[in-house]
A and B are shown apart, each in its own frame.
Chain A
């Protein structure tokens, strides 16, 4: 297990400003194969058989999502690429967009062909406005070469909202509304953008598609673990000597990424998956990175022994409280209440009952919040209570 470049195959190899450099590396051959040699159903079967799961954090089987949208009635359907990379500590999609916009466009074009969509959107976060011109340029070049005759790809820019990375909030944002989470069901493949069948895939998920089509599902599903096929691109930051983007075969151990590749020393804890991700204490650093264990969107934030766990959890909760969309009470009020309590521990003014309150609040939020943000917001609290409980107990007044 270790580094392998599938998603990042062309990064720092091609010139992202010129499509010709992409074409010399099999660029758009997968689209050609998908359109000329395969039916949409065959494409979907191939993606299903590959075992590809969503790379944005939720891990939903990609082919199944496509199939649901393909089979949903109606001839107005949409493909959305989620480039609203807002998870704290994640920057892999930025790296991909900077270095290889063409593979992404090819992936979107194949997805559109497979589900029968004539319109695609790339939802780009406002913070990545600096990538807009290069992305527009890449779409224009693909269009000029005649690769996008079956689908229009437009870019919609976000305006600063973490929750818009959540797929239903993202669709509301494209519809020009506040990015608030929707009640589900119905799910996007049957009723998505403007109530029409829609698939929403992460940048990295779509980056896998051209190679799955070219090399076949049986090539792809040899890589990885039983339920986690292929590779994952990780964003490593924090207390490491070599921060950056690393693509690893799924199932690789966290230790290899953090210590051998990113050269971390004296690690106390690793946050895997950003603000709502898991906290992994050093004695569990042998954990494999996969959907079966821990993964998220691949944000790896490393904390060395000089760091204060309560400080980290407190800041994480401040972030979540600020970014809660406010639609459901458990998340809106729960995150605020947690900030208040964690603030007390941060100032060493914790109260005897606070730990119990945190635990009760956590389970209430996990059970009753409307979307992944509120459901996962308590994770840093519950994980730190599990692994670093002394840090809380020592700060009770």
Chain B
């Protein structure tokens, strides 16, 4: 590393808690609100753009409000080989929205995600932090009903 670069790199740990704070906001409010980003920047003494940059980098953080429950169906190859397409279709039919959307009543947001590490029991999805595996179209309705 050149000396010039070294000077630019932040040396302190002021930002250490940023991701943890954003994760908490996400779980508390269901998203990371703009006001939260501004406040976090002030309290940690880093720029607003830095905080916004972190909040928008990670796929489990959202700067727009999400539904009360977030459905994430795995779209990676091992699940694809086990007909994840059919599961995606079943969820679309069941709640009437496409991936990337939120139901009008705010109950569900629906997303596709990359490998969630449940390939031995594919196809799989996460709803909030719960893993649902060995999915069939027939199971979807019942699983979704258990989320209020």
Residues in chain A within 8 A of chain B (CB atoms): 85-91, 93-94, 125-130, 156-162, 173-179, 183, 185-186, 191, 194-195, 235-239, 243-245, 271, 301, 303, 307, 312, 315-316, 319, 322-323
Contacts and interface: CB of A to CB of B under 8 A. Distances in A.
Contact of A176 (B16, B76, B119): B16
Given A87-B115, A175-B13, A239 B81 contact: yes
Contacts of B58: 126, 158-161, 179
Given A127-B116, A127-B126, A183-B1, A176 B20 contact: yes
Contacts of B11: 194-195
Contacts of A175: 13, 15-16
B146 to A, nearest CB: 16
B91 interface: no
A157 B23 contact: yes
Given A127-B117, A127-B126, A158-B58, A88 B78 contact: yes
Contacts of A191: 1
Contact of B78 (A89, A129, A178, A244): A89
Contacts of A238: 77-78, 81, 119
Interface string B112-125: 01111111111000
Interface in B1-42: 1, 5, 9, 11, 13, 15-20, 22-23, 26
Given A160-B113, A322-B114, A177 B18 contact: yes
B1 A176 contact: no
A307 B129 CA distance: 32
10 contacts: A88-B78, A94-B117, A156-B20, A159-B58, A161-B57, A161-B58, A176-B19, A177-B54, A238-B119, A244-B120
Nearest to A274: B115
Interface of B: 1, 5, 9, 11, 13, 15-20, 22-23, 26, 50, 53-54, 57-61, 76-78, 80-81, 113-122, 126, 129-131
A130 B131 CA distance: 8
B129 A89 contact: no
Contacts of B1: 183, 185-186, 191
Contacts of B57: 161, 178-179
Given A157-B23, A176-B20, A243 B77 contact: no
Q: Is the interface of A mostly helix, strand, loop or mixed?
A: mixed
Contact of B114 (A88, A174, A179, A245): A88
Nearest to A195: B11
Given A94-B117, A235-B120, A315-B80, A130 B18 contact: no
Given A157-B23, A194-B13, A312-B77, A88 B115 contact: yes
Nearest to A185: B1
Contacts of A194: 11, 13
A186 B5 CA distance: 12
Nearest to A132: B129
